[in-house]
Chain A
Amino acid sequence: MKTEHDLDPSPPVETVAPPLLEIEELRVGFDTEAGLLVAVDGVSLRGEAGQTLGLVGESGCGKSVTASSVLRLVPVPPGKFLGGRIRFEGKDILSMRRSELGRIRGKEISMIFQDPMTSLNPVFTVGRQLVEVLRLRFGMHRKEALERSAEMLSTVGIADARSHLGSYPHELSGGMKQRVIIAMALLCEPKLLIADEPTTALDVTIQAQILHLIKSLQRRTGAGILFITHDMGVVAEMCDEVAVMYAGRIVERGEVGEIFQRSRHPYTKGLLRSIPRKGVQRKAELPTIEGVVPSPLHLPAGCRFAERCWHRKDLSEGEQRRCFEEDPVLDGTRGVACHFPLVGGGA
């Protein structure tokens, strides 16, 4: 287990404002019939106001568990916090009282999920839900709140906003529901927005609209965003910083251009190479990452990517043994958790 990283808390005497979001060595597990499943295993992240931090990786690598931990939305049990710390503007989320957390949730921190129905109540009209948010957050009167809600619905591209205040969620398309959630988030003017695959279920032209909206929300409010996706195109479009996750851990992080142009972790580079993109010859063999992600119930010792690592195959026997036996540590802001990182070059 690593003890050293660049995310050490600020000095005890607070001269500078603490970072907006600070996750340190987070470990979260689930009790399952087959034993303890460690879904997130020592994740450290830092998000700043006005910046978008992307969290990418394949299905099951722990992105959503990491994100939901920030608002303590992981169901306990079967979930279990095994260690680490999460701070929001310096306040410790994991030890906070429920009531205090409630004040932060939906006000200073908003969350957009892949499935909009996670955040919408099916039995209330859209208008009622938006008004409720404004009353809770700003103590606004009903009439004024309705006015603001209608305005916001048109801002997010809902035609005929006033009449949609009376719609129930099931009367709206997936794209419209996601717009309502974004309107809700906009109305709250959160300091931190957590978006977990907000466009994965949407069509590409609707996705483009929603991404555009989230960007303008950020420009307007200066919110920090934690953006979760498995789509490298969306990462490139949205993020300032990126953290790449693999099997419960962060294997590489850095500024978005660096990650795309000079990937240093073999997994990141493999992922980027395997996407069919402009200029790839039609029907030419695509580079792949052979094999599959290890089961979180049977994680191997050493580097968790070693079994599938194409780079390892060029190494000496002794070096390869190190890959299988010793845990690589993520260090530095431009961190890479690999014993033999790539020197860097285009994907």
Chain B
Amino acid sequence: MTGNPRSNDSGPLLSVEGLKQYYPVRGGILGGKIGDVRAVDGVTFSVEQGQTLGLVGESGCGKSTLGRAVMRLEDPTAGRVLFQGEDLANASGPELFRRRRDIQIIFQDPYSSLNPRMTVGEIVREPLLVHRMGTKKEQVKKVRDLLATVGLTGEMLDRYPHEFSGGQRQRIGIARALALDPKLVIADEPVSALDVSVQSQVLNLMVKLQRERNLTYIFISHDLSVVEYISDTIAIMYLGRIVEKGPVDRIFERPAHPYTRALIRAIPEPDPSRRKDAVPLQGEAPSPVSPPPGCAFHPRCPFAIEECRSAVPSLEPLGGTDGHRGAEHLAACIRKDEI
């Protein structure tokens, strides 16, 4: 592991504070700005080195935008991204370029995220070339080592992505993400496009790499079972905000936010003796262009009271008796302690 003089051993590897990412909505006769899509609307969280933060939510809730914002692929509208205590949102030029080595991303779609005209060897080596890491000989050796690490053989070096299965392509994507020895890997739906038998192979690989390299993951997924398996901490997003956050076992044992409860209840379990006959959560998530006032979840929430229509709940620790553990468990719901 490359030692960093400025690394801050005591603090979290990554902290995100009050991050907002808005996109303008244009319209009208003149095509002027008529509003904002509040894709990420004030998000705060941190991740410790070697841990996995699971980021869960349904399509359009802002989880992928959040991942991209952490990568600094876009300039945030507001807020800070601190990596080892340094503000990435203000970093620019060479500093940002150097920082990019430490944070890498794995995408959902192993079919479109790899350049079809490059060989596997070139794909995995590209980041090393861009960042001028090592001599040619060292780079070639590194590529071979990386392929071996993800369970691919050297003879695959000169072949093209289309010759590989989905699981193999995802391994190629992982090898490429690891080329620069990152500290943080953002995995955006990394197994969603894969069949279950292959999905478990890739999950095993990710867990093994985390152990061996003390990697930190932000694991973005809509699949709660997968997130439960791989995460230490979970954050649940709804319409651009985190509505609940806490240690994974706490969230699954005692979900506090009505949306989290509905989400957990909605997963079809692979057990025919436990079918669900209850009426599921109704309605759909509203548009992030015109979010409802108050708690954004109130139109669908079975527990909503008058106050939920006007007061925006903030993410706060759960009350109750189990002290320390409870303090790590936060929810943004006015009624979190009564329901």
Contacts and interface: CB of A to CB of B under 8 A. Distances in A.
Interface in A219-246: 230-237, 239
B130 interface: no
A17 interface: no
B237 to A, nearest CB: 12
Interface in B237-291: 248-249, 262-263, 265-276, 279-285
B197 A271 contact: yes
B198 interface: yes
A211 B265 CA distance: 13
Contacts of B197: 58, 270-271, 274, 288-289
B207 interface: yes
Contacts of B231: 282
A236 B195 contact: no
B275 A236 contact: yes
B169 to A, nearest CB: 11
Contacts of A59: 166, 195
Given A204-B224, A271-B197, A274-B199, A236 B58 contact: no
B262 to A, nearest CB: 6
Contact of B280 (A208, A278, A280): A208
B92 interface: no
Contacts of B229: 276, 280, 282-283, 286
A173 B199 CA distance: 28
A18 interface: no
Nearest to A175: B284
Given A274-B200, A286-B203, A292-B165, A236 B281 contact: no
8 contacts: A59-B166, A209-B281, A236-B270, A260-B271, A270-B197, A274-B197, A282-B231, A289-B197
Given A209-B280, A274-B199, A275-B270, 15 more contacts: A58-B196, A58-B197, A175-B284, A203-B59, A205-B263, A207-B268, A208-B268, A237-B269, A274-B196, A276-B226, A276-B229, A282-B232, A285-B207, A286-B203, A292-B198
Interface of A: 58-59, 157, 159, 173, 175-176, 203-209, 211-212, 230-237, 239, 256-257, 260, 270-272, 274-278, 280, 282-283, 285-290, 292
